[in-house]
Amino acid sequence: MATPTWEQVALATGPGEGAEAAVRQAYKEAGLPEPELVLMLPSPAAGAVVAAWLTGDEQARAALAEAGLAPESPAGAFPAPELPGLLGDAGPGRSVRDDLRTKPWERARAAAYAELGPVGWAEHWAETGGRLWPQAERLISDLRRAIGRLGDDPSSSVGERGAPQETPSDRSRGGRDVGAVLREATLDAVLGQHDAPWLFTFDALDAIRYGLAAPDGSAGKGNRDGLAGLAGLARPGDPSEGDGFGGPGARDSRDGGEGLAGRDGLSRLGGRDERGGPSEPGPGAGEGRDGSDGLDERGGPAGLDDIPDLDGLMRVAEQAGWWWPYERVAIVTERPVELHLDDLGRLHRADGPAMAYADGFALHAWHGMPVPAGFGAVMSDLTVERIRAERNAELRRVMLEHFGFERYLAESDAKRIHSDETGTLWRVDLPGDEPLTMVEVVNSTPEPDGTRRTYFLRVPPWIQRAKQGVAWTFGLAENEYDPQRET
């Protein structure tokens, strides 16, 4: 079977094989005893709920139970009733995420930076992980947002949670904010397949280390699959438009914007510079939490030979989704069973969930925007009345874009505000939102058949005159707009 590329790893669906063995290998490589239990769960939502339950205080557990999310209850949304018997009173132990992921990554990045220098490191990131970063970051943020909304509506089905609600997303239950409890749990996760950008970056260092051609993005360390697997590979092409350097953020953003560097990130090793690329390591760049100073035994800068073994982490990423490592237990979750994206790599599907897991946890999205279940079906049969009836302003804007502003003006009671030599200004009120205001203009250049096309230009609601609106589209004041020849 062909080795998957890291891009394929990041977007893989369906159950993996050998995740438990890979997790145990990752513990060994970090110098940790193997966990007593590797608990496989069907979704990151289930993983976050169980992690929050096992590590939370009484108030957190009460809040989860009241929201119908108690994993110890078979009737819960994500049941795991065997947990108390399996773990006893000692609990899961401390999180070992720093030992497994943060510290090794600090060492790897410091070693690579010492070897490649600031320019070489930025170029290496751009050719490897930077190409996968924008899409992976979107998926991570989408999942964190949806998991944080699990407690929004306890009466809804699992598959409907995560959609926009008119009520606040962070309902306080049992004295604790359910959304905050769940979002905090997601920040303790190792991201599995969604760590692909960073793992690709580190994986590709083996090619440089042994003087081979740059890799094509195939997953798997050279020392695992044989160095011959890296030889002769073509240099990757330029990143797709819009990817740029887009490097991972070094700061912890608890509102869902955390970078792939992780909760502590690699803040001492630098984040984005002003151009969006990976910045130079900050003070103490090579200094790990174990007191290491990033130098080799001779006192010189650590080079690529100092990169720790990340084979276990890479194997987990190839076979599993998010996972939570603790001293006694590792909570590992499956990859989605379905994943649907639009041409820009955003979650999108008209006839079902854009991302779905085996336990029913699902994300519905329309070109990247979270929407309720069934929203796609509504879009196929829109009317002016249905658009007006939509209470959620964001969803109504999506409906308008799909329906067409010109068509909406024609079929609604749009008011003619002003006309002059440039065109006609129209306005129609929208419930709970700013008015839809557009200028109707006629192209001064005729088509080949002699007809002239009509266009509608959306302008801000404060526009009062047609010429003022057309001038605004050019970034000009009304008195500055005096075209000698229109095209």
Counting Cα atoms < 13 Å in the Cβ hemisphere of 280 gives 7
Residue 212 or residue 189, greater confidence? 189
Q: Name the amino acid, one letter, at 273.
A: D
**φ and ψ of 204, to 5 deg:** -70, -15
pLDDT at residue 2, rounded to an integer = 62
Give yes or no for residue 183 having a pLDDT over 60: yes
The 10s digit of each residue's pLDDT in 428-473 is 888 778 888 989 898 877 777 777 788 888 899 999 999 999 999 9
Give yes or no for residue 199 having a pLDDT over 90: yes
Give yes or no for residue 399 having a pLDDT over 90: no
Q: Cα 383–385–389 angle (5° rounding)?
A: 120
Mean pLDDT of 357-361: 94
pLDDT at residue 71, rounded to an integer = 80
Give yes or no for residue 99 having a pLDDT over 70: yes
The 10s digit of each residue's pLDDT in 328-342 is 999 999 999 999 999
Q: Name the amino acid, one letter, at 209.
A: R
pLDDT at residue 214, rounded to an integer = 52
Mean pLDDT of 117-122: 92
The 10s digit of each residue's pLDDT in 18-65 is 999 999 999 999 999 999 999 999 999 999 999 999 898 889 988 888
Give me Rg for the CA atoms of the chain: 26
What distance in Å separates the CA atoms of residue 38 and residue 86, rounded to the nearest whole number?
11
pLDDT at residue 408, rounded to an integer = 86
Give yes or no for residue 250 having a pLDDT over 80: no
What distance in Å separates the CA atoms of residue 188 and residue 97, rounded to the nearest whole number?
7
- Work out the mean pLDDT of the chain and round it to a whole number: 77
| Cα–Cα distances in angstroms (integers) from residue 126 to residues 38, 207, 243, in the given order | 35, 16, 8
Residue 4 or residue 331, greater confidence? 331
348 within 8 A of 342, measured Cβ to Cβ: yes
Least confident of 58-67, 183-192, 264-273: 264-273
pLDDT at residue 175, rounded to an integer = 55
Residue 381 or residue 419, greater confidence? 419
Beta-carbon contacts of 202 under 8 Å, excluding residues fewer than 6 positions away, are: 105, 108, 112, 307, 310
Give yes or no for residue 237 having a pLDDT over 90: no
22 within 8 A of 61, measured Cβ to Cβ: no
pLDDT at residue 398, rounded to an integer = 84
The 10s digit of each residue's pLDDT in 55-91 is 988 899 888 888 888 887 665 677 666 666 666 677 8
Q: Which two tokens stand for residue 10?
A: 């990041």
7 pLDDT band (50/70/90 cuts)?
very high
Cβ atoms within 10 Å of 291's Cβ, excluding its own: 6
Give yes or no for residue 257 having a pLDDT over 80: no
pLDDT at residue 407, rounded to an integer = 86
Helices (H), 380-475: 384-389, 393-403, 405-411, 466-473
420 within 8 A of 466, measured Cβ to Cβ: yes
What distance in Å separates the CA atoms of residue 39 and residue 50, rounded to the nearest whole number?
10
pLDDT at residue 433, rounded to an integer = 82
Least confident of 24-38, 163-177, 413-427: 163-177
The 10s digit of each residue's pLDDT in 274-304 is 333 444 333 333 333 334 444 444 344 456 7
Q: Per-residue DSSP letters for 57-73?
A: -HHHHHHHHHTT--TTS
pLDDT at residue 264, rounded to an integer = 33
Give yes or no for residue 252 having a pLDDT over 50: no
216 pLDDT band (50/70/90 cuts)?
low
pLDDT at residue 397, rounded to an integer = 82
